[in-house]
Amino acid sequence: MARRDYYNTLGVKKTASQDELKRAYRALALKYHPDRNPEDVDAQRRFQEIAEAWEVLGDPQARATYDRLGPFFKANGQPPTPDELGEYLTDTIGGWFGKRGDNAPGEDIRYTLTVELEEVLTGVEKEVQVPRQCTCTRCGGEGADPDEGRRDCEPCEGTGKATGRRFLRQTCARCDGRGWVTIKKCTRCDGEGRHGSEDALKVKVPAGVATGQKLKVRGKGNDGHGDGTPGDLYVIVNVAEHALFQRRGPDLLCELPITFIEAALGAQVLIPTLSGSMKIRIPPGTSSGKILRLSGEGLPVPKQKDKRGDLHMQVGVEIPDALSEDQRAALEEFDRRTGPEAHPRRAAFDAAVTGRTEG
């Protein structure tokens, strides 16, 4: 989209004849030609703008279309998109308030931070190294090298104001109102005004956080361009998988293998918790799949002070898969001594199957 005023770029009135336009173009093209300004990046930019303006205004047909469409003129003849209309309005309103495009705010950035489940219990402060764009430490964001990288702007004599009588005081188009032009790019940022950096940053991770949760750190995104405000940093939490515990919201699930002797007779066993371990009692006659609930041994519930979820211990009876002769004999003896009343579920199952076979 043609956001610049092509007539202004060539320094002529809208009513100028094609001959006047041609003369203005030739004079400017000669003045800003890269061959004449080998180290002047601003001059090179100006030269491109002049060439672009001439490409349109130098062709009477394209010029007529440009006059009609103004800022929505496109060299390919396409109508403006809604995005371009919006951009035009932003530029125009920005222009009224003296906001320059190169003072754009910094971008927001995202950083994924992995925390351990134990840290979810307590909350934690982590030091992270976030790669971001910071204002150049050498040129202060100006883009011109502090070592003889700039000189006073000639057309405005360093004032930054456009010359000539105008209704509105305009900024100098040559230097964008800065009063100086770049003749050598900053060696640290290559003229961009920002460069990559990795600052150590402390991030507070609250207790009870879950994977995918975003923590906003205001102003720690990329620094803005020029006087632009910095963006924000979004720390995305990732809770690492735990060897023992699975998470179910604020509750924790843990598998508890017990022997079939413990299952039958009951036992005291040591189980893990997030902060250490504790002893629990397994009641006699505990079957596989049974869940023993330990109230308040789960994770903190967000926004509910001192409230914690539960720890669910899921019992799995471990059956030996290789028995010695001696062990086998002992179990066979046990089997002889027990009747169907020892395994009522098995007895009921057998009865049901038998009924089907006979019916």
Residue 175 binds to Zn ion (criterion: CB under 5 A) = yes
Decide whether 121 or 172 has the Cβ nearer to Zn ion. 172
Find the shortest distance in angstroms from Cβ 170 to Zn ion: 11
Find the shortest distance in angstroms from Cβ 228 to Zn ion: 15
Decide whether 189 or 235 has the Cβ nearer to Zn ion. 189
The Cα 208–Cα 196 span in angstroms is 33
Beta bridge partners of 127: 202
Residue 21 binds to Zn ion (criterion: CB under 5 A) = no
Find the shortest distance in angstroms from Cβ 294 to Zn ion: 59
The Cα 11–Cα 13 span in angstroms is 7
Q: Which of 77, 141, 149 is nearest to 103 (CA)?
A: 141
Residue 186 binds to Zn ion (criterion: CB under 5 A) = yes
Whether 218 contacts 188, CB under 8 Å: no
Phi, psi dihedral angles at 300 (to 5 degrees): -60, 145
Residue entry with tokens 């914690």: 308
115-174 residues near Zn ion, rule: CB under 5 A: 136, 138-139, 153, 156, 172, 174
Axis-axis angle for helices 18-31, 41-57 (nearest 10):
160
Contact residue for Zn ion among 53, 189, 282, 315 (CB under 5 A): 189
27 sits in which H/E element: helix 18-31
Cβ atoms within 10 A of the Cβ of 281, count?
A: 10
Decide whether 58 or 226 has the Cβ nearer to Zn ion. 226
Decide whether 139 or 254 has the Cβ nearer to Zn ion. 139
Stretch that binds Zn ion, among 51-59, 179-187, 226-234, 299-307 (CB under 5 A): 179-187
Query: Which residues of the chain form contacts with Zn ion (CB under 5 A)?
Result: 136, 138-139, 153, 156, 172, 174-175, 186, 188-189
